[in-house]
Structure 1
């Protein structure tokens, strides 16, 4: 991955047929080292929204990857209150998945609006 990202013709924000970027896939699957590498790459959009409104943060949170959630929250370039195509916030999505550890983390994050309406 590192070698690929070093090539000038590689677009680190390339969208595949599912509307996902490399960061989206790495976050969704909990690949911490790849997420770190991508976040360190110039021009990577950490808050990219797919056609369904999902972001790397929402994908990793839904799948229970607490470490990657913390890493993305630390970038300060992610919107913690964005809504998906259903109008659901991240907190609602993760609560529906039963990820109480991530719900607690999100609610303790200053940028999360606990009163946001879905």
Structure 2
């Protein structure tokens, strides 16, 4: 593993900051699953490292891992699924993160970011602010995954009452 990937994955802000000062360090370097340092920061909820990576302006905010099980899961999807509202907002505000991006691997059935947020940790953790933010920024509440299922289905299936209300509003 490369130092930047390891430091980002394990939350070592000072090391990430030092490494990013070197122009020869590639901030979009991918690990064996195709994840970049920017993928790891939202996944782990590390807003400080996420901010460092975003501030340098040399990262692909819509990078898509290539591993067969998680193909297409972007940093925005990871942040939304984790309920990290500030990170979701910052990614959307770059204008480069695709709010309607879909997974294309076997694991999540071609779900959109909103479907993931409605069914996974964002709703389970009570982070309704992420759902509200995604809807407010234009995420399609009627989008369907490969199985024809909508965010409303996933929220209802998992018993997320507040999310169901937002999706029906």
Asked if TM exceeds 0.5, the reply is: yes
For residues 19 and 27 of structure 1, what CA distance do their matches in structure 2 show?
15
Query: What are structure 1's unaligned runs of at least 5 residues?
Result: none
Which protein has the larger Cα radius of gyration, Structure 1 or Structure 2? 2
- Matched with 2:112 is 89
- Matched with 1:80 is 99
Q: Deviations over 1:2-53 (max 9, x none)?
A: 1101112211000011211000001111111211111111321011011211
- SS at structure 2 position matched to 1:64: coil
Structure ranking higher in helix proportion:
2
For residues 57 and 94 of structure 2, what CA distance do their matches in structure 1 show?
13
For residues 74 and 30 of structure 1, what CA distance do their matches in structure 2 show?
18
For residues 74 and 31 of structure 1, what CA distance do their matches in structure 2 show?
18
Q: 1:42 to 1:66 in 2, by over 3 A?
A: closer
- Matched with 1:63 is 82
Pairing 1:104–2:123 present? no
Q: Which has the higher contact order (CA 8 A, sep 6+)?
A: 1
Q: CA RMSD in A?
A: 1.4
Query: What are structure 2's unaligned runs of at least 5 residues?
Result: 1-15, 146-169
For residues 67 and 100 of structure 1, what CA distance do their matches in structure 2 show?
13
Identify the range of structure 1 (96-105 vs 32-41) with the bigger mean alpha-carbon deviation: 96-105
Pairing 1:13–2:28 present? yes
- Matched with 2:142 is 115
TM-score by length of 1: 0.90
The alignment of Structure 1 onto Structure 2 pairs a total of residues equal to 117
- SS at structure 2 position matched to 1:82: coil
